[in-house]
Amino acid sequence: DAGITQSPRHKVTETGTPVTLRCHQTENHRYMYWYRQDPGHGLRLIHYSYGVKDTDKGEVSDGYSVSRSKTEDFLLTLESATSSQTSVYFCAISEVLSGSYNEQFFGPGTRLTVL
């Protein structure tokens, strides 16, 4: 998994509760991404980061916030979880170097169920 861990790996929570998912990398890559994967929708970008404290929205950012205070950690927060946020969440990392083409490498995923 290219030195990427996600925690927790599984979580069940109730509607209305806050939830924070953590992505940790040991590769010192500049770019980090949060995706959700749902049947029929594929992988969709929630938020991404292009450096410490530098983040931007993806295509499905409503209801989610992120923070990146250190290069190695990228946090995804659901302020008030809803059943529509039940999904599998993947973190990815990439680095843009001479000769690279933004290959993204994925963490193991977090399965979140909101009851």
Partner 1 sequence: QKEVEQNSGPLSVPEGAIASLNCTYSDRGSQSFFWYRQYSGKSPELIMFIYSNGDKEDGRFTAQLNKASQYVSLLIRDSQPSDSATYLCAVNPQAAGNKLTFGGGTRVLVKP
Residues near partner 1 (CB under 8 A) are: 1, 31, 33, 40-45, 48, 50, 58, 90, 94, 96, 101-109
The Cα–Cα gap between 70 and 51 comes to 9
Sequence-separated (6 or more) residues with CB below 8 Å from residue 100: none
For partner 1, give the closer residue by CB, 42 or 62.
Answer: 42
Shortest reach from residue 13's CB to partner 1, in Å: 20
For partner 1, give the closer residue by CB, 78 or 107.
Answer: 107
Contact 104, 85 (CB under 8 A): no
Shortest reach from residue 16's CB to partner 1, in Å: 28
Shortest reach from residue 90's CB to partner 1, in Å: 6
For partner 1, give the closer residue by CB, 1 or 79.
Answer: 1
Which of 96, 87, 88 shows the shortest CA–CA distance to 32? 96
For partner 1, give the closer residue by CB, 56 or 79.
Answer: 56
| DSSP structural state of residue 84 | G
Give the position of tokens 């977090």. Answer: 110
Which of 32, 45, 29, 30 shows the shortest CA–CA distance to 6? 32
Shortest reach from residue 103's CB to partner 1, in Å: 6
